[in-house]
Amino acid sequence: MKEYNMDNKEISVLGLGYIGLPTSIVLAKAGHLVKGYDPNKEVVKSLNDGKIHIVENNLQEEFKKVVDSGKFKAYSEVQPADVYIMCVPTPFKENHEEKLADLSYVESAAHTVATVVKKGDLVILESTVPPLTTKLVADIIEKDTGMSRDDFYVAHCPERVLPGRILYELEHNDRIIGSEKEEAGLMAKSLYESFVKEGTCYVTDDVTAEMCKLVENTFRDINIAYANELSIICNELGIDAFKLIELANKHPRVNILTPGVGVGGHCIAVDPWFLVEKFGDKAKLINTARHINDFKPLWVSNQVEEDVNHDKNTKIGVLGLAYKPNIDDLRESPSIILAEDLIKKGYNVYGCEPNTNKDKINDIEVKSLDYVLDNCDYLVITLANDEFVEEKAKKRILAKKHYNCIGMK
């Protein structure tokens, strides 16, 4: 089997967001020359001025190192390179009742790569996508360039990181790499092994790699749905769901997850819908789990409304607006869905999210923790942000009338 040496390559990373920027950093640390591309000129300027635009542990410090080393620069035009890594979003299509994957960003990135790609180059799709999308990328490049499919290489390597630990997990987690052609998979494997310190890089076909990321997040979604449904049932019985789960987990073969306000983020709340879209009635359990988790913030809204006796003069504070603690990622956040539902019902709602500098998120006024504690009559605890669980703040929070979505003690 032929071996490929992918050390010290010029790499163009398309998309400098929550995945693209950390990926650029670990690549640059590994000795590659990284040319980051983002269509947002403010992002490009901020990065070239030395300041990151997202909240993530240790990212600013590591970013400074690679900028100082001369191994990273951001551009508002895609630059020629040896390798192109596409880290673009795959949201839902707007104005559709069904949850359908919007592949326009992936398609646009493929067209962009086609303007600069040359024979022998490697194109990697990192975005989480429905099956057969990697083939679509290859089709676009082949058509746009007029090159034979044998003249360039395309692979899929979905990210699998946890916000708050992204840099660590990029360098330590196993990676799944898929491609139509064995050569592309082996080239990508060599590239990822240049920065994956302890994990193993596994090579398979492109469709299996696409499905692997989807089923990983779907597995988690289904397990969370079970916990969330249990919390609804426990409410009917008048018992503490968190205590029940703690006791049930004493069984050596039971590990029920902790319920919450719902499921958010650009992975678990999104990826299962790609399977429902593709396979319809064959994905019945997946579909049901998605509906349970999507319903949970609305169910919490109803519980809060009952708890305040439908008094529309009640000032309600929602503690936590990101989709998980201690990050600034607001995508698909169930806390935002909850707050907006209460606003639609006519309540005065203030949000508190220490990890954003926004004054307003959609229709939600964002205030400091002190403001919310001083001015709100009722609290909804949706996240265990460090600022909320600090002992002095926690005492003030739990002393107020509240709805505890996370079992804070």
Q: Is residue 3 part of a domain?
A: no
Q: Is residue 84 part of a domain?
A: yes
Q: Is residue 409 part of a domain?
A: no
Q: State whether 20 and 117 are in the same domain.
A: yes
pLDDT higher than 90, residue 42: yes
Q: State whether 398 and 254 are in the same domain.
A: yes
- pLDDT value at residue 4: 82
Q: State whether 204 and 63 are in the same domain.
A: yes
280 Cβ contact list (under 8 Å, min separation 6): none
pLDDT higher than 90, residue 386: yes
pLDDT, average across residues 61-68: 97
- pLDDT value at residue 266: 87
Distance CA 297, CA 403 (A): 12
- pLDDT value at residue 95: 87
- pLDDT value at residue 5: 87
Domain boundary among 149, 184, 208: 208
Distance CA 296, CA 341 (A): 12
Residue 337 to residues 83, 93, 316, 351, Cα–Cα distance (Å) = 39, 18, 14, 12
| DSSP character string of 323-370 | SSTT----TT-HHHHHHHHHHHTT-EEEEE-TT---SEETTEEE--HH
Please count the structural domains in the chain: 2
Tokens of 237: 């019985």
Q: State whether 203 and 237 are in the same domain.
A: no
CATH number for position 184? 3.40.50.720
pLDDT, average across residues 335-361: 97
Tokens of 407: 């079992």
Q: State whether 136 and 268 are in the same domain.
A: no
- pLDDT value at residue 230: 98
User: How large a percentage of the chain has pLDDT more than 70?
Assistant: 100
pLDDT, average across residues 286-295: 98
Q: State whether 267 and 370 are in the same domain.
A: yes
- pLDDT, averaged across the chain: 96
Residue 392 annotated in active site: no
Q: State whether 360 and 396 are in the same domain.
A: yes
Residue 41 annotated in active site: no
Catalytic pick among 87, 267, 376, 405:
267
Q: Is residue 267 part of a domain?
A: yes
Domain boundary among 175, 208, 241: 208
- pLDDT value at residue 97: 86
Q: Are strands 10-14 and 364-366 parallel, antiparallel or unpaired?
A: unpaired
Residue 393 to residues 323, 374, 385, Cα–Cα distance (Å) = 21, 12, 11
- pLDDT value at residue 1: 56
Q: State whether 359 and 250 are in the same domain.
A: yes
Q: Is residue 2 part of a domain?
A: no
User: How large a percentage of the chain has pLDDT more than 90?
Assistant: 96
Catalytic pick among 9, 35, 213, 367:
213
Q: Domain range spanning residue 311?
A: 217-404
Q: State whether 93 and 140 are in the same domain.
A: yes
**The model scores a pTM over 0.75:** yes
Q: Is residue 21 part of a domain?
A: yes
pLDDT higher than 80, residue 2: no
Q: Is residue 4 part of a domain?
A: no
pLDDT, average across residues 247-263: 98
Q: How confident is the model at residue 158 (pLDDT cuts 50, 70, 90)?
A: very high
Q: State whether 394 and 292 are in the same domain.
A: yes
What tens digit of pLDDT does each residue of 391-402 get? 999 999 999 999
Listed residue (178, 162, 113) closest to 139, CA to CA: 113
- pLDDT value at residue 25: 98
Sheet holding 360-361, edge to edge: 360-361, 364-366, 348-352, 315-319, 378-381, 401-404
Q: Is residue 1 part of a domain?
A: no
Alpha helices in 50-181 (DSSP H): 59-68, 104-114, 133-145, 166-172
